[in-house]
Amino acid sequence: MPDMPARGRMVVVIGAQWGDEGKGKLVDLLTERAAAVARFQGGHNAGHTLVIGGRKTVLSLIPSGVLREGVTCYIGNGVVLSIPALLKEAATLAEGGVPALERLRISPNCPLILPGHVELDHAREKARGARAIGTTGRGIGPAYEDKVARRAVRVADLMDPVSFQAKLAEVVDHQNYLLGRYEGHTPLDPVEIAERWLDMGQRILPLVTDVGAELINARDAGGHVLLEGAQGALLDIDHGTYPFVTSSNTVAGAAAVGTGIGPRDIDHVLGITKAYTTRVGAGPFPTELDDHAGRHMARVGQEFGAVTGRPRRTGWLDLVALRQSIRHNSVSGLCITKLDVLDGLERVRLCTAYRLPDGSVVEQPPLRADDYASCQPVLEDMEGWSSPTSGLTELARLPAAARRYLERVETLAGVPVELVSTGPERDQTIVLRSPFDVREWCPGEDSNLHASRH
């Protein structure tokens, strides 16, 4: 038998909170050793920030491996694709010397986001008034609605202009009907949209490929593969704080469905969580703060949405929600980001349980998503630290109180901490173990964080 190359590992990176955990920074860092990176859900509602040598890049659709030559980036079938947004992002990258389209491959099965989806997103949010979800206004929800209704126009449809025009006319007709309910709507012209989309489509058709097959091939040839989640587990359409969620499955299971690999191809799931919590948009947030500590997190963490610029709400780390995310994603290891943002707080707190309106204390989120809003956090106090963790790359150099905080989070979460991020820069990271190297951890075993004490 000829020698088979050692297989690479397939690692899913997901946000374990309400998004913006620092997924982009981590994916960019980890791609140093990867052959491929794929997005598997969401669309350009994502905003993933990479900072290298003081230079900031914000990516919405293009995977966070794009800055590295030799890494192939994929947009999987689970992504709803805005062609104008993609071309704009690629053009911005090209201006900065990054040949994004040369590094990109796209699934033929991505549903297309059309102008009517964006209009519907805005019209519905406006009509909801005080009950608005606070969407990013990118047309994400309406585009997924059309996918599930089996009337979406997909990337592969661009290959046949005549049938594309017919399919698009059907969708636009439906959108004009829906939009007719809202004031000030000018009917959309299907002929004009078809022309523009077919024209732009020429740029992306050469990139179309069987994404799942290419990922498996890369893995079998010995390359590591990253599957980059967008949003976060608490925004998942099924498992999140419905209806204040996005319209896709954001959990790790979606990485298989959204790229065309199988569930057993996933070797490892890295869950990213901030050392505290943020949320942008409306919806319940049990540990939300409106005090000095919350303002400290917002100011020091520069908590403004990467896509919409909206201020992010801030609060303590919520272990009830995090444990649920760990379950829903079968998280193998955690990355704790923005530890440095807590520097200088006299006291830090962790939410270990919820108190319900009847006074009972529970360690699981409520069964009814609507009841989330009435949960009060049960908080555990810990000593803060005054010497900075900002930029540290070694565990041993962290202040003792910061170490204790991480260890407490690890114990309460029940999975090992694999990485700690101490600043926005790629190299401001403590790597305890790489998700590409690990043997899976067994409960009861000492993690690297704890073992390093002995």
**Which residues are identified as catalytic?**
20, 48
Whether the upstream peptide bond of residue 187 has omega within 30° of 0, thus cis, is no
Distance, in Å, from the CA atom of 441 to the CA atom of 434, rounded to the nearest integer, reads: 13
φ and ψ of 149, to 5 deg: -80, 0
State in angstroms the smallest separation of the CB of 273 from ligand GDP.
Answer: 10
Contact of 306 with 50, CB cutoff 8 Å: no
Q: Spell out the alpha helix ranges (H) of 129-210.
A: 140-148, 161-179, 190-204
The partner residues of 313 in beta bridges, in order of sequence, read 279
Q: Which of 9, 14, 23, 142 binds ligand GDP (CB under 6 A)?
A: 23
Of the two residues 54 and 444, which places its CB atom closer to ligand GDP in the complex?
54
Contact of 331 with 296, CB cutoff 8 Å: no
Identify the CA nearest to 103 among candidates 148, 37, 197. Answer: 37
- The distance from CA 41 to its chain's CA centroid, rounded to whole angstroms, is 9
Site string (44-63) toward ligand GDP, x via CB under 6 A: ---xxx-x------------
Distance, in Å, from the CA atom of 153 to the CA atom of 167, rounded to the nearest integer, reads: 7
Identify the CA nearest to 142 among candidates 122, 169, 157. Answer: 122
Q: Which of 12, 227, 341, 375 binds ligand GDP (CB under 6 A)?
A: 341
Confirm or reject binding of residue 247 to ligand IMO (CB under 6 A): yes
Q: Is the dihedral of CA 107, 109, 114, 118 positive or negative?
A: negative
State in angstroms the smallest separation of the CB of 19 from Mg ion.
Answer: 6
Confirm or reject binding of residue 281 to ligand IMO (CB under 6 A): yes
Q: Which does 135 bind (CB under 5 to 8 A by kind): Mg ion, ligand GDP, ligand IMO, none?
A: ligand IMO
Q: Which does 138 bind (CB under 5 to 8 A by kind): ligand GDP, ligand IMO, Mg ion, none?
A: ligand IMO
Q: Which of 57, 422, 434, 447 binds ligand GDP (CB under 6 A)?
A: 422
Residue 408 in tokens: 């407490």
Confirm or reject binding of residue 45 to ligand IMO (CB under 6 A): yes
Confirm or reject binding of residue 272 to ligand IMO (CB under 6 A): no
From 140-148, 344-352, 366-374, 415-423, give the range in contact with ligand GDP by CB under 6 A: 415-423
Tokens 């549903």: give the residue.
Answer: 111
Confirm or reject binding of residue 22 to ligand GDP (CB under 6 A): yes
From 4-12, 237-245, 247-255, 337-345, give the range in contact with ligand GDP by CB under 6 A: 337-345
Distance, in Å, from the CA atom of 286 to the CA atom of 362, rounded to the nearest integer, reads: 13
Residue 163 in tokens: 């049938």
Confirm or reject binding of residue 435 to ligand IMO (CB under 6 A): no
Of the two residues 115 and 232, which places its CB atom closer to ligand GDP in the complex?
232
Rg of the chain over Cα atoms, rounded to whole angstroms, equals 22
Confirm or reject binding of residue 338 to ligand GDP (CB under 6 A): yes
Q: What residue is closest to ligand IMO based on CB?
A: 281
Q: Which of 38, 269, 306, 419 binds ligand GDP (CB under 6 A)?
A: 306
Amino acid letter at 218? A
Contact of 225 with 36, CB cutoff 8 Å: yes
Of the two residues 332 and 421, which places its CB atom closer to ligand GDP in the complex?
421
Q: Which does 25 bind (CB under 5 to 8 A by kind): Mg ion, ligand IMO, ligand GDP, none?
A: ligand GDP
256: left (phi over 0), alpha (psi -120 to 50) or beta: alpha
Binding site for ligand IMO (CB under 6 A): 15, 18-20, 45-48, 133-136, 138, 140-141, 230-232, 235, 246-247, 280-281, 306
Binding site for ligand GDP (CB under 6 A): 15, 19-25, 47-49, 51, 301, 306, 337-338, 340-341, 421-424
